[in-house]
Amino acid sequence: MPVIEVRDVTKQFMKGSETITPLRDANLEIERGEFVSLMGASGTGKSTLLNLIASIDRPTSGTIVVNGTDITRLSRSKLANWRAANIGYVFQTHNLVPVLTAYENIELPLLLLPLNRAERRKRVEIALGAVDLLDRANHYPRQLSGGQEQRVGIARAIVADPTVVVADEPTGDLDETTSSQILDLLQRLNRELGTTFLMVTHDPDAAAIAGRRLRLEQGRLVEVADHVPVPAALEVR
């Protein structure tokens, strides 16, 4: 059974009298443990789709089932709780809380789960270790480099062991070297922890690390073929 099922999802925005429909009867299934990348021109609705799956926005029509729960039917307050356990969100700009240390930032999602202090400590340390920042636990975001901040952001997204981690252009703000480090990290986490990843990116190289690549075109999702397409003329009939 797929861990994410997007069924006939349409999302419309009203901009004055104009209606924008970035998603039109979109369908998508993602299996547990997959690493899926999502590309598409700017303004096609990639972030919109990510936000719908992350349950911070609601579709105009259609259903989204994540880990067996139809999240389009949950109330706002139930969704908040549900998100804490099921969604890890990696932002383009890390969005760390500046007044909290790296450790405290990573601990935030755990505060919403029934865990005691010792259990939280263990999990935060595992997450810090996974992003190789154990020595920076007590640093505030302003004391970290851009790449380190993004690693803390990733640790915060994985610490609660969520059903799916969504990442919206996680390397969009980083230089090439740091980007590739972050991408390696995401790939490693996917392999080692078996976490499902859905990553939006504009960078074809970044998309290439994914086991499965998608494009958003005219409100629908299209699979990008893995293999190099065979020229039509050579095709054997």
Partner 1 sequence: MFFRLLPWEYGIRNLFRRPLRSGLTLLALTTVTLMVLVVVGFVRGLERSLAVSGDPRTVIVFSLGMGENLEYSSIPMGTTDLLAASTQGIQERYGRKYASPELYLGTKVRLSQDSPESLGLVRGLLPAALLVHRQVEIISGQWPQAGEVLVGRLAATKLGIAKQQLAVGSTLWFEGRSWRVCGTFSAGSGTFESELWCRLDDLQQTLKRQDLSLVAMTLGPTADFQDLNLFCKERIDLELQAIRQTDYFATLRKDYAPVRWLAWLVVSLIAGAGVFVGLNTMYGSVVGRIRELATLQTIGFSRRAAILSVVQEGTILAMTGALIASVIAYGLANGAAVRFTMGAFELQIDSLTLLIGNGIALCLGAGGALPPAMKIFRLSVVDGLKAV
Ligand X SMILES: Nc1ncnc2c1ncn2[C@@H]1O[C@H](COP(=O)(O)OP(=O)(O)OP(=O)(O)O)[C@@H](O)[C@H]1O
E strand intervals along 87-228: 87-90, 164-168, 196-200, 212-217, 220-224
Nearer to ligand X (CB atom), residue 13 or residue 27: 13
Which of partner 1, Mg ion, ligand X, none lies near 45, with the C-beta cut-off 5 to 8 A by kind?
A: ligand X
CA–CA separation, 232 vs 237, rounded Å?
Answer: 10
In eight-state DSSP terms, residue 50 is H
Query: Which listed option, ligand X, partner 1, Mg ion, none, makes contact with residue 29 (CB within 5 to 8 Å by class)?
Result: none
Residue showing tokens 């997959």: 34
Cβ neighbours of residue 117 under 8 Å, at least 6 residues apart? none
Contact mark string toward partner 1, 144..163, x via CB under 8 A: ------------x-------
Q: Of the two residues 68 and 114, which places its CB atom closer to partner 1 in the complex? A: 114
Strand 164-168 versus strand 18-30 pairing type: unpaired
Q: Work out whether 20 is an interface residue with ligand X (CB under 6 A).
A: yes
Distance CA 4, CA 1 (A): 9
Shortest reach from residue 107's CB to partner 1, in Å: 9
Looking from the CA of 196 toward its CB, the CA atoms found within 13 Å total 18
Among 80, 119, 146, 191, the residue binding partner 1 under the rule CB under 8 A is 80
190 neighbors 35 (Cβ within 8 angstroms): yes
Segment near partner 1 (CB under 8 A); pick from 24-32, 63-71, 98-106, 121-129:
98-106
Binding residues vs Mg ion (CB under 5 A): 47
Binding residues vs ligand X (CB under 6 A): 13, 15, 20, 22, 40, 42-48
Binding residues vs partner 1 (CB under 8 A): 51, 54, 56-57, 76-77, 80-85, 87, 89, 91, 95, 97-100, 104, 108-109, 111-112, 156
